[in-house]
């Protein structure tokens, strides 16, 4: 290194983050550069580590429920759904049909809210200022529905083990239908701004390619995997909460680059609207809470339950020893696993692409660090 001149330098180490606007939280990436070319990256994570899994062992099953919202805080409802399903599994109970349908509606609405935040911030990272205002405008409508339903906008704690605590409010169905009709043209609007935009396309095309084989090697799931051509979605592969009843498609693309991941997520939002419309039409009267006692005390045993969260496969591995507190709760976070592929995706690319690739991975550091 000392013999290298500036013109013929070998390697430069550049520290990016943890306080950097485009790392979407406190992610630190140590980049090894040759000029503008990225030779490798090392992620330093853990700045938001709160020991969620340890907390779980010291809370009752019901008490731990609100904590899971704080992991992926932009998709809190998905987190809650996964946890409730996992505990219901070890208890061997099932939420009643009405509760399942309401869960599907809210989870899909949350998927849209999560994708909207991703789209806005991703576009902002790339240099398109406008979409973020549009996206947050529509996301606000989704958050309003959450607020009306359970009183909270972000960390909703919307579901309970065994079903729901709250019945839907008067006008819930109308709000959902209105949102769906309002939202579909908005997706077209975003697409008009971006999909064929020359700058957008040239910044995203062939950037951060991850092939289907690499995705499987790295355990990468969610839109990233689907953009690489693997038609796999847990809602179809191993349906839960009655997803098998709804007619929807799994959008896929072939190249596995940043642009394809953008397209997949845009189409997913449309599919979510389709699911919500069908779910709200099929919403029947009935109980909202299953046969679960006041004290949740599952038998000795263990189960792994996973759902398709907006970021990928979100799994909970719950071990019970017959007490009212979980013996162990392991969260399999999609963001954490997906982030591991960052190094592979940006190797050989340009510094400017790092920002695009972090954006397209759609990580939430609250979930990476837990």
Partner 1 sequence: MADEQKPEGSPATPPPGGEAAAPPAKPATPAAKPAAPKPAAAAHAAPPKPPATMAATPWDSDLAKEIKERFGDHISETSTYLGQSFVVVKPDAAVPLVEYLKLEADFDYLVDVTAVDWPKRAERFDLVYILYSFARNERLRIKTFIAEGFKPETVVNVHLTANWLEREVFDMFGIEFAGHPDMRRILLPEEWQGYPLRKDYGILQQDDRWVKENLGIESGQ
Residue among 347, 361, 183, 349 nearest 261 (CA)? 361
Q: Which of residues 6-65 bind partner 1 (CB under 8 A)?
A: 45-46, 49, 51, 53-55, 57-58
Express the helix, strand and coil content of the chain in percent, nearest 5 each.
Answer: 50, 15, 35
Distance CA 277, CA 99 (A): 16
Interacting residue with partner 1 among 298, 310, 349, 359 (CB under 8 A): 298
Residue 169 backbone dihedrals phi, psi, to 5 degrees: -80, 165
Q: Which of residues 85-104 bind partner 1 (CB under 8 A)?
A: 85, 88-94
Contact 81, 75 (CB under 8 A): no
Residue with tokens 């239908």: 177
Tokens read off for 356? 């695009």
Q: Name the strands in the sheet holding 328-332, side by side, starting at the edge strand that comes first in the sequence.
A: 301-309, 312-320, 328-332
Residues facing residue 301 across a β-bridge: 320
Per CB under 8 A, 297 contacts partner 1: yes
x/- track of binding to partner 1 for residues 253-282 (CB under 8 A): ------------------------------
Local structure of 220: helix, strand or coil: coil
Of the ranges 197-205, 255-263, 277-285, 330-338, which one interacts with partner 1 (CB under 8 A)? 330-338
Per CB under 8 A, 363 contacts partner 1: no
* C-alpha neighbours within 13 Å on the C-beta side of residue 297: 6
Per CB under 8 A, 304 contacts partner 1: yes
Shortest spacing between CB 15 and partner 1, in angstroms:
16
Distance CA 24, CA 22 (A): 5
Interacting residue with partner 1 among 101, 121, 156, 241 (CB under 8 A): 241
Of the ranges 24-32, 123-131, 181-189, 309-317, which one interacts with partner 1 (CB under 8 A)? 309-317
Nearer to partner 1 by C-beta: 186 or 332? 332
Interacting residue with partner 1 among 296, 361, 364, 365 (CB under 8 A): 296
Distance CA 120, CA 130 (A): 8
Shortest spacing between CB 79 and partner 1, in angstroms:
16
Binding site for partner 1 (CB under 8 A): 45-46, 49, 51, 53-55, 57-58, 85, 88-94, 216-220, 230, 232, 237-241, 290-306, 313, 315, 317, 319, 321-322, 327-328, 330, 332, 336-337, 340, 369-370
């Amino acid at each position: 290194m000392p013999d290298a001149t500036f013109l013929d330098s070998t390697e430069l180490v550049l520290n990016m983050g943890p306080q950097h606007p485009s790392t979407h939280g406190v992610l630190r990436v140590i980049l090894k550069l040759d000029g503008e070319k990225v030779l490798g990256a090392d992620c330093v994570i853990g700045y938001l580590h709160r020991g969620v899994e340890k907390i779980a062992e010291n809370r009752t099953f019901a008490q731990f429920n609100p904590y899971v919202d704080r992991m992926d805080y932009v998709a809190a409802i998905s987190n809650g759904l996964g946890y409730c399903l996992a505990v219901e599994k070890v208890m061997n109970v099932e939420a009643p049909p009405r509760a399942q349908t309401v869960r599907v509606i809210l989870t899909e609405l949350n998927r849209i809210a999560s994708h909207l935040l991703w789209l806005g911030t991703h576009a902002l990272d790339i240099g398109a200022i406008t979409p973020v205002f549009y996206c947050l405008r529509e996301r606000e409508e989704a958050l309003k529905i959450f607020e009306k339903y359970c009183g909270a906008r972000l960390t909703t704690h919307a579901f309970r083990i065994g079903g729901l605590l709250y019945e839907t409010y008067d006008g819930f169905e109308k709000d959902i239908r209105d949102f769906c009709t309002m939202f579909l043209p908005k997706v077209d609007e975003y697409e008009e701004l971006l999909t064929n935009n020359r700058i957008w396309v040239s910044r995203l095309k062939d950037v951060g390619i991850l092939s289907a084989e690499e995705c499987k090697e790295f355990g990468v799931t969610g839109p990233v995997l689907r953009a690489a051509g693997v038609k796999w979605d847990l809602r179809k592969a191993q349906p839960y909460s009655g997803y098998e009843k709804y007619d929807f498609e799994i959008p896929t693309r072939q190249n596995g680059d940043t642009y394809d991941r953008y397209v997949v997520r845009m189409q997913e939002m449309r599919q979510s609207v389709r699911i919500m419309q069908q779910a709200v039409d099929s919403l029947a009267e009935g109980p909202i809470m299953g046969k679960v006692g006041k004290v949740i005390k599952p038998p000795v045993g263990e189960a792994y339950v996973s759902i398709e969260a907006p970021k990928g496969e979100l799994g909970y591995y719950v071990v019970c020893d017959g007490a009212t507190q979980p013996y162990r709760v392991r969260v399999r976070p999609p963001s954490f696993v997906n982030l591991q592929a960052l190094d592979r995706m940006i190797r050989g690319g340009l510094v400017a692409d790092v920002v695009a690739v972090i954006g397209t991975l759609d990580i939430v550091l609250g979930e990476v660090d837990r």
